[in-house]
Amino acid sequence: MIYGAGGHGKVVLDALECAGRQVAGFVDDDPDRAGGEYCGHSVLAAPGEWEAGRSVGFVVAIGDAGDRMRASDRVEQFGYELVTVVHPKAVVASDVSIGPGSMVLAGAAVNPGVRVGRGVIINTGAVVDHDCAIADFAHVAPGARLAGNVRVGERSLIGIGATVVPGISIAADAFVAAGAVVVSDVGEGVTVAGVPAKPLGRSGAAKTGGRG
């Protein structure tokens, strides 16, 4: 089941189908969506309204990091498994560690020594070079590039087309704006933008990831 009948859910559906995985349908918290259809699949009520013990795994396809984290916790509280998705057109080194519920999408490259936490999105065409560590519920957006030994904290967003030079640490809940070039460490909850990237203030950052 795909949790989230929105734009990111559509991308995850494609990844699952390309990987030969069977998709039973969508679930969504929005009562106006439940009972309808999305991308040719039924949309059901969210897991809390299901009978316990159903034999099904979930991918939480929600772009917003906080919402993705809460939905993932909810799925596991009701006894369901979080499923990891790797698009067959992604390139993932054999020693990469990927946590439950994470998504590596088409055209992404994840190189040796990388550690990916729980509920992470490595989006279309993103590059994560050797020995990076991506913490739980972070999002590396389409076309973003992390050089070697970069650390990305929980719920942080690396925006579309951003570049992070080697050895940088990006703390939890930070937001790197689209197209930024990060050449120094980024503090917790800080937004940075520009070339080179400079702080713009504190942001509630992970919410800028774009809803699925």
Q: Which of residues 45 and 60 earns the better pLDDT score? A: 60
Over residues 177-212, the pLDDT tens digits come to 999 999 999 999 999 999 999 999 775 544 433 333
Query: How high is the pLDDT of residue 160?
Result: 97
Contacts from 190-195 at CB under 8 Å and sequence distance 24+? Answer: none
Domains and CATH numbers, the chain: 2-82 (3.40.50.20), 85-199 (2.160.10.10)
Chain-centroid distance of CA 199 in Å reads 24
Query: How high is the pLDDT of residue 162?
Result: 98
Q: Which of residues 34 and 66 earns the better pLDDT score? A: 66
Contacts from 95-101 at CB under 8 Å and sequence distance 24+? Answer: 99/136, 101/58, 101/59, 101/60, 101/72
Query: How high is the pLDDT of residue 48?
Result: 62
Average pLDDT score over residue span 50-67: 82
- Cis amide prior to 142 (ω within 30 degrees): no
Query: How high is the pLDDT of residue 127?
Result: 98
What is the C-alpha to C-alpha distance for residues 50 and 176, in angstroms, rounded to an integer? Answer: 38
Query: Above 70 in pLDDT, residue 5?
Result: yes
Length of the chain: 212
Q: Is residue 8 annotated as a catalytic residue, yes or no?
A: no
At 116, is the pLDDT very low, low, confident or very high (cuts 50, 70, 90)? very high
- Considering 8, 41, 87, 130, which one is annotated as catalytic? 130
With a CB cutoff of 8 Å and minimum separation 6, the contacts of 118 are 72, 82, 99, 100, 101, 102, 136, 137
DSSP secondary structure letters along 55-99: --EEEE--SSHHHHHHHHHHHHHTTPEEPPEE-TTSEE-TT-EE-
Sign of CA dihedral 26, 32, 35, 40: negative
Average the pLDDT over each of 40-54, 64-78, 115-129 and give the range with the smallest value. 40-54
